[in-house]
Amino acid sequence: MKITFLGTGTSQGIPIIGSKHPVCLSTDPKDKRLRVSVLITWGGYRYVVDCGPDFRYQMLRAECDKIDGIIFTHEHSDHVLGLDDIRPFYFKQGDIPIYAHKRVLKSLRKRFDYIFATKNKYPGAPTVIENRVKNKPFKLKNIQVMPVNGFHDKLQVFGYRFNDFAYLTDMKTVADDEVKKIVGVKVLVINALRIDPHRSHFNLEEALRFINKVKPQKAYLTHISHLLGFHEEVQKTLPENVFLAYDGLEITI
């Protein structure tokens, strides 16, 4: 299984438009972060987790010419706004499967009413195949995916375990029973927004505490704000099995 980090930034991305913050002005490519998403590839299959506003460019940058589906964590704009840009895939492949909690599907139907329209549909609009995710395992081709339930302030969010890879973002609280589902995975991706606490995201300290509970072989931090600091400097402060993810990073599990 290959994981490509398509984006590792928080909701506004880094740099933030108009910001003069030193991290936003950094010339290190690792400090440039698109909105958070990963591409998961195995056996010729390709799935993305979330498709935010940078989805089109992320697909071009990763040279991804086919997707087998999109799995959503939750309905916030930084995770869903690129849905219209599935059009090139739809034109080539037909209806695109999406996987999400029923509340997220409802939100997508409202925001992208033309995609879900059944009457007088505009000919250029794509069509999706809705798959409702409940908090129980489901199949994606030949693997089983285990949802991991958590909360982003008060909003329910799904993380997902794909074999020995677990991807959780936008988490602030995860119950112990849910943590058990991912204990000992080889690779964990978890959100770490900044140094200071935040009401709906793990800060760095909370993310490191979470990693200590899960005990993966390696952990990668994502959904990063400019307020976390420069990539190179923050990386030096992390435990030896914890890494800051960066856009374009590829790992094989």
Residues that bind Zn ion (CB under 5 A): 78, 170
List Cα–Cα distances, 225 to 5, 128, 192, 198, in angstroms: 16, 32, 8, 11
Residue indicated by tokens 């690792």 = 30
Q: Give the separation between CA 132 and CA 140, rounded to whole angstroms.
A: 13
In 94-164, beta strands by DSSP E: 96-100, 128-132, 138-140, 143-152, 155-162
Contact 215, 190 (CB under 8 A): no
Q: Give the separation between CA 238 and CA 210, rounded to whole angstroms.
A: 14
For the CA atoms of the chain, what is the radius of gyration?
17
Closer by beta carbon to Zn ion, 85 or else 170: 170
Handedness of CA 233, 22, 14, 46 (dihedral sign): negative
Q: Concatenate the DSSP letters of all residues of 162-174 into one string.
A: ETTEEEE-S-SB-
